[in-house]
Amino acid sequence: MLKLELVGHYSAKLLEANQAYSFINFASIGSVFAQTPGSVAYFCDGMLMSTFMSRVTGRTIGRVSFDFTSIADLVLGSAEQLGKRVYFVGARQAELDLFIVKIGALYPQLTIAGYHNGYFDAAEAEDIQADICRSAADILIVGLGAGLQEQFEQDALSAGFRGVAFTCGGFIRQEALATRQYYPALINRLHLRAFYRMYREPHTIKRYLIDYPSNFLHLLTMLARHKVAISVGE
């Protein structure tokens, strides 16, 4: 039985939790099927997933993503205002360096507790998690790709991290390479983010055209066979 804990909407009070959060759409949910049960709570990333889960559960579940079209500014802006320390993990070193400069310009009073690129082995992962704990970070933001990032944030919590963790997928790399924000305002307003990303990042075409429908059918089958238990928190 797959147990899926969903979060209906983002709230600033989540920043006080000692919890791992991630984001699912019909591409990334494939990694959830493959993982052993964990303690991650999931937001619905994308209009298709939020609409589908709203229908399935009978609850209103909003679209929430960790990017500047959704909660990234809310999280980082609140961290700046509240004096919370943020630790970033993800992307290549050159991309991460550009990202840190950009975030520093956008949030000049934000305390960055530390950061590390997303290329490391299991032994190095333990060292990074130890550094996160030593840094007294309040918020951990991890972009390692579906599956790996959820495991990393759970391992960080197990290692003693006492703050809140969010996965962010390709957010660090995307923002590092974007002149302003990754998604233009018109693209965001018309809900064309998936098409824009396929245009900008052709390697995602398979994800949208093959993984989405196959995982959708897989999830439908599991629901029909009562192999998925879905709970919804606020």
Query: What whole-number distance in Å separates Cα of residue 131 and Cα of residue 124?
Result: 10
Nearest to 157 by CA among 38, 7, 27: 38
Residue partners of 29: CB distance under 8 A and separation at least 6:
49, 215, 219
Residue 108, judged by CB atoms within 10 A of its CB (0-12, 13-18, 19+), counts as exposed
Q: Beta partners for 177?
A: none
56-82 confidence digits (pLDDT tens):
999 999 999 999 999 999 999 999 999
Stretch 5-18: mean pLDDT: 96
Percent of the chain with pLDDT over 70: 99
Predicted confidence (pLDDT) at residue 117 exceeds the cutoff of 70: yes
pLDDT of residue 180: 72
pLDDT of residue 46: 87
Stretch 130-142: mean pLDDT: 98
pLDDT grade for 83, boundaries at 50, 70 and 90: very high
- Whether residue 27 contacts residue 65, with contact meaning beta carbons closer than 8 Å, is answered with no
Predicted confidence (pLDDT) at residue 17 exceeds the cutoff of 70: yes
Would you list the domain boundaries of the chain? 18-233
Q: What rounded mean pLDDT belongs to the chain?
A: 93
Predicted confidence (pLDDT) at residue 105 exceeds the cutoff of 90: yes
* Number of helical (H) and strand (E) elements in the chain, helices listed first: 11, 8
Stretch 130-135: mean pLDDT: 98
pLDDT of residue 58: 95
142-200 confidence digits (pLDDT tens):
999 889 999 999 999 999 999 999 999 999 999 998 877 788 888 888 778 888 888 88
pLDDT grade for 232, boundaries at 50, 70 and 90: very high
pLDDT of residue 183: 83
Query: Would you list the DSSP string of 145-181?
Result: -TTHHHHHHHHHHHTT--SEEEE-TTHHHHHHH-SS-
Cα dist from 199 to 44, 145, 187, 190, 193, whole Å = 23, 19, 12, 16, 10
Q: Return the DSSP state at 204.
A: G
